[in-house]
Amino acid sequence: MRAFIAVELSNTDAIEKLQQDLVTEAKWSSGHFVLVKSQNLHFTLIFLGNIGLETFDKVQVILSDINFKPLNLVLRGVGAFPHPEHARVIWVGVDENGKRAMVNLAQQIISKLSRIKIDPDRPFKPHLTIFRAKGMPLKLRSEVISKYYDNIIAHDTIDRVHFKRSELTSSGPRYSNIFTVQAR
């Protein structure tokens, strides 16, 4: 099973509006990108890849032991990976306080998962993917980045961590929550 651990947004209206605005302002044609649907918007804390049932059970036990308070996030700014001129991913960032809180949460989970030999393939950088390039890379022009660079896009409270399954389908990924931990 392909799996990851993530937190989800509850306030997706502002992100949907931002997506519409970016398509218009960046002048992208519809065949060149995949818009991340509102039900799929999330911050991946750690990607687990393909895991077996034994690992699945261990991850669930570990997650049930995490302890965190709700995280108040300010979604702020727009960026691109690997580079705005040749973007494969367009993302929204978070403010410094939210970034620290999310990094601390991710580190708590990663530390516990390391006991069962699960380590991240890359360092955690809080970002919310809102577009993926389809085929050719996207170009996010400097004036578009400047316009949204430090803009507050939305506020949200994260109060759940999800152990999620990812199914890749011809119509895009389908995510489902396997196990959820509530903030305490």
pLDDT tens-place string over residues 58-78: 999 999 999 999 999 999 999
Residue type, 32: H
Strand 33-35 versus strand 2-8 pairing type: unpaired
Averaged pLDDT of the chain? 93
For residue 69, what is the DSSP state? P
- 82-108 per-position pLDDT tens digit: 999 999 999 999 999 999 999 999 999
Determine the average pLDDT of the residues in 2-31.
93
Instruction: Tell me which residue has tokens 């605005």.
Output: 21
Q: What CATH superfamily classification does 2-182 receive? A: Cyclic phosphodiesterase (3.90.1140.10)
168: β partners: 173
Could you count the other beta carbons within 10 Å of the beta carbon of residue 20?
A: 11
pTM over 0.85: yes
181: β partners: 161
18 CB-near residues (< 8 Å, 6+ apart): 78, 92, 130, 148, 153
| Phi, psi for 66 (deg, rounded to 5) | -75, 150
Secondary structure percentages of the chain, helix, strand, coil, to 5 = 35, 40, 25
Instruction: Tell me which residue has tokens 């516990």.
Output: 112
Residue 135: its pLDDT value, please? Answer: 86
